[in-house]
Structure 1
Amino acid sequence: MGAAVALAALAGLTGCERGSSAGGAAPSATGPAGCPAALAGAEAAVRRAERTDTVWNGPTDGPRAVPGKSLVYVAQTMTNPGVAGTVRGVREAVKAIGWHVRVIDGQGTPAGIQAAFGQAVALRPSGIVIGGFDPRLTSQQVARAHADRVPLVGWHALDSPGPSEEPPLFTNITTRVGDVARISADWIIAHSRGRAGAVLFTDASIPFARNKSELIKKELATCSGVRLLAEENIPISDTSGRTPQEVSGLLARLGDEWTHSVAINDVYFADAAPALRAARREGAGPPYNIGAGDGDPSAFQRIDSGQFQTATVPEALIEQGWQIVDEFNRAFSGAPASGYVAPVHIATSANSAGATSWDPPGYRAAYRSIWGK
Structure 2
Amino acid sequence: MHHHREAVPGVVRARSFPLALLLAASLLAGCERGSADGPGTSATGPSGCPAADARARAAVTRAEKTDVPWNGPTAGPAAVPGKTLVYVAQTMTNPGVAGVAEGVREAAGVIGWKVRVIDGEGTPAGIQAALSEAVALKPSGIVIGGFDPNATSQQVARATAARIPLIGWHAVASPGPSANPRLFTNVTTNVGEVAAISAQWVIARSHGHAGVVLFTDASIPFAKHKSELIKRGLAACPGVRLLAYENIPIPDASGRTPREVSFLLSRFGTRWSHSVAINDLYFADAAPAFRAAGEEGSGPPFNIGAGDGDPSAFQRINSRQYQAATVPEPLSLQGWQILDEFNRAFSGRPASGYVAPVHVSTADNSEGATTWDPSGYREAYRRIWHK
Shorter-chain TM-score above 0.5: yes
Counterpart Cα distance in 2 of 1:111 and 1:315: 27
| Distance in 2 (alpha carbons) for counterparts of 1:112 and 1:204 | 18
- Give the residue type in structure 2 aligned to 1:22: A
Confirm whether residue 183 of structure 1 aligns to residue 197 of structure 2: yes
Task: Give the residue type in structure 2 aligned to 1:112.
Answer: G
Q: In the alignment, which residue of structure 2 is the partner of 1:160? A: 174
2:185 counterpart SS class:
strand
> Residue 10 of structure 1 corresponds to which residue in structure 2?
none
Provide the C-alpha distance between the structure 2 equivalents of 1:266 and 1:182, rounded to a whole number of angstroms: 16
2:385 matches 1:364? no
TM-score (normalizing by structure 2): 0.85
Structure 2 CA distance for partners of 1:138 and 1:226, relative to 1, 3 Å: closer
Equivalence for 1:14: none
**Unpaired stretches in structure 2, ≥5 consecutive residues:** 1-30
Matched, 1:283 2:297: yes
Q: 1:256 to 1:341 in 2, by over 3 A?
A: same
Q: Structure 1 CA distance, aligned partners of 2:102 and 2:332? A: 6
Q: Which amino acid aligns with 1:177?
A: V
Query: What corresponds to 1:3 in structure 2?
Result: none
Cα distance between partner residues in 1 of 2:252 and 2:88: 25
Change (3 A) 1:29 1:201: farther
Aligned match of 2:47: 33
The residue aligned with 2:7 is none
Name the residue aligned to 2:131.
Answer: 117
- How many correspondences in the alignment? 357
The Cα shift of 1:41 comes to 1.1
SS at match of 1:350: helix
CA distance in 2, matches of 1:297, 1:160: 25
Partners of 1:123 and 1:25 in 2: how far apart? Answer: 54
3-state SS of paired residue (2:361): coil
Separation (CA, whole Å) in 2 of partners of 1:39 and 1:25: 15
Per-residue CA deviation, residues 224-272 of structure 1 (Å, 9 max, x unaligned), is 3323233334343433343333333333333323221112222222222
In percent, how many aligned pairs have the same letter? 74
- In the aligned structure 1, how far is the partner of 2:196 from the partner of 2:70? 22
Q: TM-score, normalised by structure 1?
A: 0.88
Change (3 A) 1:368 1:25: closer
In structure 1, C-alpha distance between the alignment counterparts of 2:247 and 2:159, rounded to whole Å: 37
Summarize the alignment of residues 68-217 of structure 1 with structure 2, pairs less than 5 Å apart.
68-217=82-231
Structure 1 residues 279-314: Cα deviation after superposition (integer angstroms, max 9, x where no partner): 211100211111112122222121111111101111
**Matched residue of 1:294: which SS?**
coil
For residues 251 and 121 of structure 1, do their structure 2 counterparts lie closer, same or farther at Cα, with a shift above 3 Å needed?
Answer: closer
Displacement of 1:145: 2.0
Query: Aligned AA for 2:253?
Result: T
Secondary structure at the counterpart of residue 213 of structure 2: strand
Of residues 199-208 and 124-133 in structure 1, the stretch that sits farther from structure 2 once superposed is 199-208
Equivalent residue of 2:144, what SS?
strand
Q: What amino acid maps onto 1:265 in structure 2?
A: N
Question: For residues 25 and 188 of structure 1, what CA distance do their matches in structure 2 show?
Answer: 12
Per the alignment, in what secondary structure is the counterpart of residue 67 of structure 1? coil
For residues 54-101 of structure 1, the C-alpha deviation after alignment (integer angstroms, 9 at most, x for no partner) is 001111211122222222222223222112111111112122222222
Kept in 2: contact 1:269–1:308 (CA 8 A): yes
Residues 129 and 153 in structure 1, CA contact (< 8 A), matched pair in contact too: yes
8 A Cα contact 2:40 2:239, kept in partner: no
How far apart, in 2, do the equivalents of 1:284 and 1:75 lie?
A: 33
SS of aligned partner of 1:231: strand
Is 268-277 or 24-33 further displaced after alignment?
24-33
Where in structure 1 are there 5+ consecutive unaligned residues? 1-16
The residue aligned with 1:324 is 338
Is the contact made by 2:143 and 2:167 (CA closer than 8 Å) also made in structure 1?
yes
> 2: CA distance between counterparts of 1:69 and 1:214?
39
> 1:204, 1:78 → 2: CA distance?
19
Task: Please give the alpha-carbon distance, in whole angstroms, between the structure 2 residues aligned to 1:357 and 1:337.
Answer: 26
Name the Cα RMSD after superposition: 2.1
Tell me how far 1:333 sits from its aligned partner: 1.1
